[in-house]
Amino acid sequence: MKAAHSSVSQRILTSGLLLASVGFVPRAHAQAPTAGMQAAQSVTVTVKEGDAERKAEIKFLLFLPTAYGTPEKKDVKWPLLLFLHGGGERGDNLELVKRHGPPKIVEQKKDFPFVTVSPQCPAEKQWNADELAKLVEHVANTYQVDPKRMYVTGLALGGTGTWDMLAKHPGKFAAAVPICGPGDPAAAEKMKGTPIWVFHGAKDQSVPIAKSEEMVEAIKKAGGNVKFTVYPEATHDSWTETYNNDEVYKWLLEQKLP
């Protein structure tokens, strides 16, 4: 195993893809990110579980805005958007992640103003907040990211993942947009410091709108800052209209950590 690891490390060094982040192991087969393009990436993170540690490989798509790294923008720190897909895009084929939301949008909109991170959840698994926090840390430390302007959003399974990120890593994100995903109302106290904009379809039969209503009510009772948009005629797909709405991204960019 040591010899194999040494061989892989040497290939990474040779290709110039080694990223100097303690605790992270980039993969040799990852594409080199290019401004204006979305590239497949992979990183191995270490997470703690009680007194033990374990490693987890995360495959993700990374998009850098067209102006990233240009001479006139060389010192700019960019906002970061973490996107969590729904249950239907789980697996080991990153092309599935491009079906909806930001990773679909950036395929056409090259000036999308966020460093966009779109991981893939393994088949039959749920989003793991601690792994995702390590992924965000890795990208923020590797690229020119503004740590005061990091945001998280997700749909359905990813909406639940968004709520979970706020509960388990309060204060990490400047704002959040959970879409048609259940959360834990008991964790509202931990989320109240983050501006949140919730979306749901009134006719959703997969995840009843009551799931979002109870989260919004819990956040309000905790004294949090929450907005709630209901699409009266929408069923489960309340994400297409949301992610096609420029006002959502404008609102995100207006939010910033102290």
Q: In what order do the strands lie in the sheet with 52-63?
A: 24-26, 38-49, 52-63, 115-119, 78-84, 145-155, 175-179, 196-201, 226-231
3-class state of residue 27 by DSSP:
coil
The confidence score (pLDDT) of residue 143 equals 97
3-class state of residue 53 by DSSP:
strand
pLDDT above 70 as % of the chain: 88
Phi, psi of 176 (to 5 degrees): -145, 150
Judged against a pLDDT cut of 50, whether residue 254 lies above it is answered with: yes
The confidence score (pLDDT) of residue 19 equals 35
Phi, psi of 14 (to 5 degrees): -65, -40
pTM recorded for the entire structure: 0.88
| Confidence grade of residue 62 (pLDDT, cut at 50, 70, 90) | very high
The confidence score (pLDDT) of residue 49 equals 85
Which positions ≥6 away from 2 have C-beta within 8 Å? none
Task: Of 8-17, 51-60, 171-180, give the lowest mean pLDDT range.
Answer: 8-17
| Confidence grade of residue 33 (pLDDT, cut at 50, 70, 90) | confident
Task: Of 27-31, 137-141, 164-168, 204-208, give the lowest mean pLDDT range.
Answer: 27-31
The confidence score (pLDDT) of residue 30 equals 61
pLDDT per residue as tens digits for the range 129-155: 999 999 999 999 999 999 999 999 999
Judged against a pLDDT cut of 90, whether residue 117 lies above it is answered with: yes
User: What mean pLDDT comes out for the span 220-229?
Assistant: 98
CATH number 3.40.309.10 given to 22-254? no
pLDDT per residue as tens digits for the range 86-98: 999 999 999 999 9
The confidence score (pLDDT) of residue 184 equals 98
Judged against a pLDDT cut of 70, whether residue 160 lies above it is answered with: yes
Judged against a pLDDT cut of 60, whether residue 17 lies above it is answered with: no
Phi, psi of 93 (to 5 degrees): -115, 105
**Cβ atoms of 253 and 149 closer than 8 Å:** yes
| Confidence grade of residue 50 (pLDDT, cut at 50, 70, 90) | confident
The rounded mean pLDDT for the chain is 90
26/213: higher pLDDT: 213
Query: Sign of torsion, CA 147 165 62 30?
Result: positive
